[in-house]
Amino acid sequence: MIVYGWNSKELKQAPFPGHICPACGAENSFIVVDASYFHVFWIPIFPYNKKLRIVCGDCGHTMKPKEVSQEVRQFAKQLKSKVKIPVWMFSGVGVVTLLIVYGIISSFLNGQKELEMLNDPQVNDIYFFYDSEEPTEYKYYLRKVVAVRGASIDVSPYSFSYNMEPEELEMEDGFFHSLLWG
């Protein structure tokens, strides 16, 4: 089960003198700026927007900006525009960005490794081929380097073909027997 949804966090509170609470008549109101953000397992993924509310410090009566005078709304909007969304609300975006960067770097390093293997073949390197001429679906096969002689290499043929790129080799895949038994 994945727990996700919207959360809200208070960013800033500023007193707003001159505003009379319509519920209790007190002149002790605050303007509060909240930010709502999307979370997955309570980890903030990305912020959505900033919201305003006017709260009475005496009775707690809360009003939305549209319920108050133009003057209050103006003041509240200015406050809202000055408040910055905290960076931690972008945690999810940060994690995704890191994963993408990690993916790019590791595929680059894999590419480098492949180039190294092709430029400098070593005994026991395993090459992986794709045969588009193969009439069956088993178009993938492997060759293992058994000797390197200058510009040419000897490869050991391999009895199995695959219908997909093998993720890893198993004991039964063959090559490992020749390693074990010489």
Q: Which residues bind Zn ion (CB under 5 A)?
A: 21, 23-24, 26, 56, 58-59, 61
- Whichever of 8 and 62 has its CB closer to Zn ion, that residue is 62
- Whichever of 19 and 80 has its CB closer to Zn ion, that residue is 19
DSSP character at residue 1 = -
Query: From the CB of 17, what's the least distance to Zn ion, in Å?
Result: 14
- Whichever of 21 and 72 has its CB closer to Zn ion, that residue is 21
User: Quick check: helix, strand or coil at residue 61?
Assistant: coil
User: Quick check: helix, strand or coil at residue 102?
Assistant: helix
Provide the β-strand partners of residue 116. none
- Whichever of 26 and 83 has its CB closer to Zn ion, that residue is 26
Question: Could you tell me the sign of the dihedral formed by the alpha carbons of 163, 169, 170, 175, in that order?
Answer: positive
- Whichever of 60 and 86 has its CB closer to Zn ion, that residue is 60
Distance (Å, whole) CA 141 – CA 137: 11
Query: From the CB of 37, what's the least distance to Zn ion, in Å?
Result: 29
Q: What is the 3-state secondary structure (H, E, C) of 6-52?
A: EEEEEEEEEEECCCCCCCCCCCCEEEEEEEEEEEECCEEEEEEEEEE
Query: From the CB of 16, what's the least distance to Zn ion, in Å?
Result: 12
Query: From the CB of 91, what's the least distance to Zn ion, in Å?
Result: 36
Distance (Å, whole) CA 88 – CA 151: 56
Query: From the CB of 63, what's the least distance to Zn ion, in Å?
Result: 10
